[in-house]
Structure 1
Amino acid sequence: MTKSQENIQTWPDLAIGLYEKLTGKGAVITYDFEDFSIGVPKEVGDSSTFTTWKMNGKLKISTSEK
């Protein structure tokens, strides 16, 4: 585990790290989902408790810097 990974304690921490990696790189990520379900950990770490996310449609993530 790298030093930056050790500092990730919450989902917002993870999102901030992702934003920092993509900012200024013109990144656009598009996902299309059809009847997609995924078990998402309720906490960052070695948690065995999950919640189910169900998705249909398109999720587009893009970055820009002002």
Structure 2
Amino acid sequence: MSNPTQHTNNWPDLAVGLFDRLTGRQAEISYRFDNMHLRVPSGTGDEAQHAEWVLNGGLTVTTSDGSSSPN
């Protein structure tokens, strides 16, 4: 696990750090989206095309360390 005093500078690092911290604690993270618009680029650079995704509804992320067996 990363140093807890280290600062996170971007969203992917934040997500990975949060998942790592919650794994093995049977944690669940729930997100709810209401008309969230996201522009997804086809690549990098000024010429990239963008697709627009609209998110409505929920997303649940459940963590596990893989050591527990289902009941």
Q: TM-score normalized by structure 1?
A: 0.52
> 2:5 — aligned with what?
3
Matches within 5 A, 1:6-21: 8-21=8-21
Name the one with the larger helix percent. 1
Q: Percent identity?
A: 42
Cα separation, 2, equivalents of 1:12 and 1:34: 22
> 1:56 — aligned with what?
56
> 1:49 — aligned with what?
none
Cα separation, 1, equivalents of 2:33 and 2:15: 20
Tell me which structure has the larger Cα radius of gyration.
2
Query: How many residue pairs end up in the alignment?
Result: 50
Q: TM-score normalized by structure 2?
A: 0.49
